[in-house]
Amino acid sequence: MQPRLTLRLRLTVVFGGLLAVVAATLLGTAAVVLDRTVRTIPQFPAGQTLLLRDSTGQLRAVDAAALRDQIDSAYFAVAEQRRPVADVCAEVIAFVTPGLRVTFDGAKDQRDGTFTVETRSDKRLTISGRIEPPPAQGRIVARRELGSRAPHAAAIAADGRFVIPRLRLRKIADNSFIVAIEAPPNAPRKLLFTAICLDCLAGGTPAPAQQAATGDSEAP
């Protein structure tokens, strides 16, 4: 004798089947979108080195794997997936371009183009360090990774030293700055400088509107 299907059991079977169909549809759609996105990213042979010519005619040796990682990271955001590969490549290539050596005072080199320093949000941040070999001329420009992109610049001294003083930190755990080295004819370089606010670690990152509301005033 077969067990009788109760109403509850029938509804469970029906809704379970619907959920399985919806899940399969979502997974299939995600797979198609991912496949199309990956196809738009240039395929570079692993371990190869690219020779790229910039606007000044200077050749720059770039590690293909590192460049691919930067492009993959840029295309991870759905909003960025419609951008031409050439535009994304031009934007991220400075992060993997070998060139002038940079050290930051009091910061830890993560060996991946990122430097970190621990501090508190109530202390003004000074980004200082040295560039070797010292360029004949140039400047350092720091911009916040999130929120206002107002530039904070400092000239590179004859001995390679630079100082960007008294940057106001936000009440968030991660205050990251994209630091650009502009010292022609050297190839442009970009690094990520992250100030970790120990007193804000439990606060998390606020909404974009809250970040935009926090000004970049450098007044004392």
Exposure of 218 in the CB half-sphere (CA atoms within 13 A): 10
Q: What is the pLDDT of residue 180?
A: 93
Question: Are 117 and 195 a contacting pair, CB within 8 Å?
Answer: yes
Give me the residues paired with residue 191 across strands. Answer: 179
Q: How distant is the alpha carbon of residue 213 from its chain centre?
A: 22
Cβ atoms of residues 117 and 107 within 8 Å: yes
Q: What local confidence, expressed as pLDDT, does residue 81 receive?
A: 67
Residue ranges in the chain modelled with pLDDT below 50: 55-59, 204-207, 209-215, 217-220
User: What is residue 146's predicted lDDT score, i.e. its pLDDT?
Assistant: 85
Instruction: Give the pLDDT score at 158.
Output: 95
Measure the CA–CA gap between 6 and 196, rounded to whole angstroms. 58
| Backbone dihedral region for residue 180 (phi beyond 0: left; psi -120 to 50: alpha; all else: beta) | beta
| Token pair 């004798």: residue | 1
Q: How far is CA 92 from the centre of its chain?
A: 9
Separation in Å, CA 137 to CA 33, 55, 182, 189, 197: 46, 18, 9, 15, 33
pLDDT the model gives residue 10? 77
pLDDT of the residue at 210: 46
Q: Residue ranges of the domains in the chain?
A: 43-95, 101-205
Query: pTM to 2 decimals?
Result: 0.62
* DSSP code of residue 196: E
Q: Quick one: fold of 101-205?
A: Immunoglobulin-like (2.60.40)
